[in-house]
Amino acid sequence: MEPGRLDVYGLYLLIARWRRFIFRTVLVVCVVAVLVLLLLPNWYTATTSILPPERESSFMGLASSLIQGIGSLGGQEMVLPTFATPSHVYASILKSRTVVESVVTKHDLKKRYRSRTMDDAVKECLSHTRVRVGPEGFVTLSFEDTDRQRAADVANTYVEALNRINREVSSARARSNRLFLEERLATASRALAGAEDTLRGFQEKNRAISINEQMKAQIQNVAELEGRLAMAEIELGLLQRTMTPGHPEIVRKQMEISETKRRIGAMNDGERGSGDYGTLSVPFARVPGLALEYGRLLREVKIQETLFGLLTEQHEHAKIQEARDTPTIQILDVAKPPEKKSGPKRLIILVITAGLSIILSILYASLAEHLERLKQTRPQDWESLRNSTVEVRADLSGAVGGVRKAFHRRR
């Protein structure tokens, strides 16, 4: 036989000589494997799937419709890394300890898994749970158990826990926004009342002061821009509370504020060419005396009215978001008791076991014949090998005895 090539003829002779041993060994192993496999319980896998979360506008409504690229969690905004999606957020929540503990507690899985601690029960529960996010954004959750009905119930409980946490997070975020808006609304209300009082005092002091309709229209336009500027600054403050500096949304909002300030300056100073005030050709800088003061006071009232109206609208929207108790996720497939088992694959396991037993039997036969030839051709080497084996066996026996003594002393 050439080195490196398989001696097929020798292998055949080896199997022929040891055929009875190999057959008996494989037969015994297969019988034991069948008995063990018959004792193993059937496992059933129940699956539920969730539709991808919808991307909604920010809680600020139409005034903040430019805010995009932020993941929606139950209708409320979350700041996500650029590589994450709302579906991945759902998957992370489903595998969180909070969700798994609620599932373990509801179905008494700690007793079912015979776990001593909640940590062990959570790990065991997670080992039977599979959460996957598909390329289309669908979130699929599978749970396996020896009871098909319990498998379906646990899978559905996961989704219920996700929906509950979504509502809690959404309500907490809306509550924070409502409180923030209430503070700004109170400030705007006081500012509006102060502006109205100042304007009334000016009119009472200076009697008949009026400006033409053209000037009033220009005041109205500037007031709307000032109101939107104040609202944009509030939105920027909200974004800076939840995003890191340099985020694209913060940069965009800062650019919007800068552009609004430029337009207001153009209308106040009378700069031409921008089209900011259309046919209104009289800038504030050219209105003399008391008419200019009256225009400024009236503009301040209009600004505060615009800001107050926008804040009131968003405050009502935040209150609705906080009180909303509707489902925050959409379930595509509800988990149902599976009709077929998912494991164990008994036939496959039996075939693999039989194949391994054949290979190990042939290896044992080959080793036995090699040792027999060594005993006949090289008796000194055989004796050394036998003595070494006896020493190793004695060392192992001593180690096992020491462990037993230590165990008995502890008891």
**CA 155 to mean position of chain CA atoms:** 17
> Is 90 exceeded by the pLDDT of residue 158?
yes
At 333, the amino acid letter reads: D
Could you give the CA distance from residue 253 to residue 234 in angstroms, rounded to a whole number?
10
Which one of 30-44, 228-242, 323-337, 391-405 scores highest in mean pLDDT?
30-44
Q: What is the model's pLDDT at position 157?
A: 93
What totals of helices (H) and strands (E) does the chain contain, helices first? 12, 6
Q: What is the model's pLDDT at position 404?
A: 77
> Is 80 exceeded by the pLDDT of residue 72?
no
Could you give the CA distance from residue 221 to residue 218 in angstroms, rounded to a whole number?
5
Any bridge partners for residue 132, and if so which?
Answer: 140
How confident is the model over 162-199, as pLDDT tens digits? 988 888 887 777 777 778 888 888 888 888 888 888 87
pLDDT category at 324 given cuts 50, 70, 90 is low
Over residues 245-262, the mean pLDDT reads 85
CA angle 94/161/126 to nearest 5° reads: 40
Nearest Cα neighbor of 159 from 25, 303, 46 is 46
pTM of the entire structure? 0.55
Q: Where are the alpha helices (DSSP H) in 243-272?
A: 248-269
Over residues 102-114, the mean pLDDT reads 92
Phi/psi at 50 (5° precision): -120, 140
Could you give the CA distance from residue 301 to residue 295 in angstroms, rounded to a whole number?
10
pLDDT category at 28 given cuts 50, 70, 90 is very high
Any bridge partners for residue 361, and if so which?
Answer: none
Could you give the CA distance from residue 337 to residue 152 in angstroms, rounded to a whole number?
5
Could you give the CA distance from residue 235 to residue 311 in angstroms, rounded to a whole number?
11
Q: What percent of the chain has pLDDT over 70?
A: 79
Over residues 84-98, the mean pLDDT reads 86
Q: What is the model's pLDDT at position 141?
A: 94
